[in-house]
Structure 1
């Protein structure tokens, strides 16, 4: 699991830390930096899928460009940026910090890539080892074949790792490093940025094991499940979707279609008046219904212990459905051990958050002197207690109380 994201010279951020919890809510005004945070995860997702660094930023024939491409990836006038991800270790005393430093000008290359082994109790770095790639363009995906222990201020990498894990020889140390790197890679690979595009979800899709970021293959993913798992997932989808529209959707399912059964379509049964059930396919479903189904499908089909990132999660949803959405995120996320990061502008959704979620609300905002983006935990705003006593979370955002308080803090 990922525990923290650190941004250094990434887009509008000079330096920022984002804690990642079971449900992290990122709020802020327009152009405050929320999308830049999401794009850091999108860049990571592309890199761990094996994309060339330049293509991961600028796009190619298949990928769209991350906003600003290579030119605006680093905070101006810098020509380098660093992304760091804190990964939960394989024991309660140790975490792993993965870092990748990229040069954007005059050419795009990986300057440095490493993993630090951290002591959880005091956050000290016990040891650091470099990850080297033969061409410096495709990083951690090829790391398992190119690991090399490196010396640090605490002594030789090999000696330090040997002592910490009570290993007897270099081969054991090498094996341990590979195990750590494999754990980090798996954690990073489980990061998934979901941006459902209803227009792409309405078409027939090929059977698939993995949901696309735009959810265009939702029907293919559901239809490809084993019969038992398909029944489970579609039953949960059908149960939740009943409370979403004004009318009553009785059932949601996907079916294989065509002579060879390699494609699929999404269907549902609607009952807009008692006793009159109509079957429709995705081509007729509303944008909101399709986005809602995509979110639940991602929660149900992504691997356990994943990180799902959803920007403007409430886009297309009626405010009265905010409470339902929050309940679903918490119920399925908790059951499947999936951590969720969402961004939102919606006062209704913020008001639907229970008090125990407040410590996990993070505010993106701009420094009034430098114009750089910052991330601040809502609870760390100086007069937050007074604000919370006077306003609901939704009112704080609509009345601009949070921004005024942050401005006074600076």
Structure 2
């Protein structure tokens, strides 16, 4: 299980360490940094796919995504005795992301480019990566170290250099795969690639989930919910169909969902009390369709190590939120789950769940903080030195 997510220099996350539990709930007012924390987690997953730089480009580029305030916010600034102003930097401009778990930890640091080719002067470069044993980095626990293009792996009590240099835009997770020399790196790469994120389930009139489409075994629902019918039937065929039906009844008493197949493909329909015929997916309300997608995602027959949900309450009627909270709590028995939400009824339902820990983000002087985190509960963390 992951124990800590650490982010520094990304948007409003100047320096934040978030403890992680089997079910972690992140709340806070609009603009407090909830979505930034969620996107930071996605960027870590992107590193395993060698997509972290393109992902930053899609967000507006390195200059738009890194911390825009001063390097240090002094006590005098916080007390209003001194204006917020820039100072001479002690360290390099950087964006750092890291996770620590029961077995391994990983971090990546991006910085300003040096000697970049023409038209790529604004592209960040990967300056530092590290993989270590345990939740917190120590030089003695490091297993793989990357400094700029140079990569070295642990060899007994010493280090063995990898002769092939890394490009400034390539993550070591995607470029070095040697099961005999660095098996831990393959483990971490596959772990990050297996994380699932649900923040863009489509319910509009043209949503793919509303259409009949050819299906096959689908143990993992797509990020936009396009293969809902196939994913639902896969749970019925090889997953826990009884649990799926119980959770459906919890939200929609007396309802039933069927998946049929014709020449066009898989067709999902839902029968509801009082209606003379089932409603096709194209006829379902946005909220009902979205809830069916969440059922298929959270009750996957192939549960991931980590699943993250960003504002899953969107389009849902408030009366559905207690059932959604129970559904998420059920899923957290098989996967570590991180939920970002500002819906009070969902928050209340999740906070009643066992193994759930809730964190409310606040923004002070442009910086996202955890005001309810006592110093003695701050997870230990140390960034590898550049």
| TM-score of the pair, normalised by structure 1 | 0.69
CA distance in structure 2 between the partners assigned to 1:302 and 1:111 by the alignment: 39
Structure 1 residues 113 and 302 mapped into 2: Cα distance closer, same or farther (>3 Å)? Answer: farther
What is the deviation of 1:97?
1.5
Alignment of 1:42-81 (within 5 A): 42-51=42-51, 53-58=52-57, 65-66=58-59, 68-76=60-68, 79-81=93-95
What is the deviation of 1:45?
3.1
Partner of 2:316: 317
Partner of 1:213: 223
CA distance in structure 1 between the partners assigned to 2:12 and 2:288 by the alignment: 34
Instruction: List per-residue Cα deviations over 1:22-60 (Å, max 9, x = no partner).
Output: 111101011000000111122233332343x332222xx
CA distance in structure 2 between the partners assigned to 1:126 and 1:253 by the alignment: 56
CA distance in structure 1 between the partners assigned to 2:5 and 2:262 by the alignment: 42
Structure 2 gaps of 5+ residues are 70-91, 114-121, 152-164, 376-386
Instruction: List per-residue Cα deviations over 1:109-136 (Å, max 9, x = no partner).
Output: 2111111223x6x975533222546323
Higher helix share: 1
2:203 is matched with which residue: 191, 198, 202? 198
What is the deviation of 1:101?
0.9
2:346 pairs with 1:340: no
CA distance in structure 1 between the partners assigned to 2:356 and 2:344 by the alignment: 17
What is the deviation of 1:301?
1.9
Structure 1 residues 45 and 358 mapped into 2: Cα distance closer, same or farther (>3 Å)? Answer: closer
CA distance in structure 1 between the partners assigned to 2:166 and 2:260 by the alignment: 45
CA distance in structure 2 between the partners assigned to 1:25 and 1:40 by the alignment: 16
1:248 is matched with which residue: 234, 254, 259? 254
Partner of 1:407: none
Instruction: List per-residue Cα deviations over 1:359-396 (Å, max 9, x = no partner).
Output: 711111112xx3211134x4749xxxxxxxxxxxxxxx
Say if 1:81 and 1:102, in contact at 8 Å, map to a contact too. yes
Say if 1:50 and 1:138, in contact at 8 Å, map to a contact too. yes
2:370 pairs with 1:372: no
CA distance in structure 1 between the partners assigned to 2:189 and 2:301 by the alignment: 16
CA distance in structure 2 between the partners assigned to 1:222 and 1:99 by the alignment: 36
CA distance in structure 2 between the partners assigned to 1:142 and 1:302 by the alignment: 27
Structure 1 residues 318 and 144 mapped into 2: Cα distance closer, same or farther (>3 Å)? Answer: same
Partner of 2:177: 145
2:13 pairs with 1:13: yes
2:301 pairs with 1:297: no
Alignment of 1:170-209 (within 5 A): 175=180, 178-195=182-199, 196-199=201-204, 200=207, 201-207=209-215, 209=218
2:120 pairs with 1:115: no
Structure 1 gaps of 5+ residues are 59-64, 90-95, 147-173, 382-410
CA distance in structure 1 between the partners assigned to 2:261 and 2:370 by the alignment: 46
Q: Number of residue pairs matched?
A: 322
Instruction: List per-residue Cα deviations over 1:277-308 (Å, max 9, x = no partner).
Output: 42222111111112212222112226335211
Structure 1 residues 97 and 277 mapped into 2: Cα distance closer, same or farther (>3 Å)? Answer: same
Structure 1 residues 87 and 291 mapped into 2: Cα distance closer, same or farther (>3 Å)? Answer: same
CA distance in structure 2 between the partners assigned to 1:103 and 1:73 by the alignment: 12
Structure 1 residues 5 and 206 mapped into 2: Cα distance closer, same or farther (>3 Å)? Answer: farther
2:41 pairs with 1:26: no
Say if 1:98 and 1:116, in contact at 8 Å, map to a contact too. yes
Structure 1 residues 138 and 124 mapped into 2: Cα distance closer, same or farther (>3 Å)? Answer: closer
| TM-score of the pair, normalised by structure 2 | 0.73
Instruction: List per-residue Cα deviations over 1:157-182 (Å, max 9, x = no partner).
Output: xxxxxxxxxxxxxxxxx83x522212
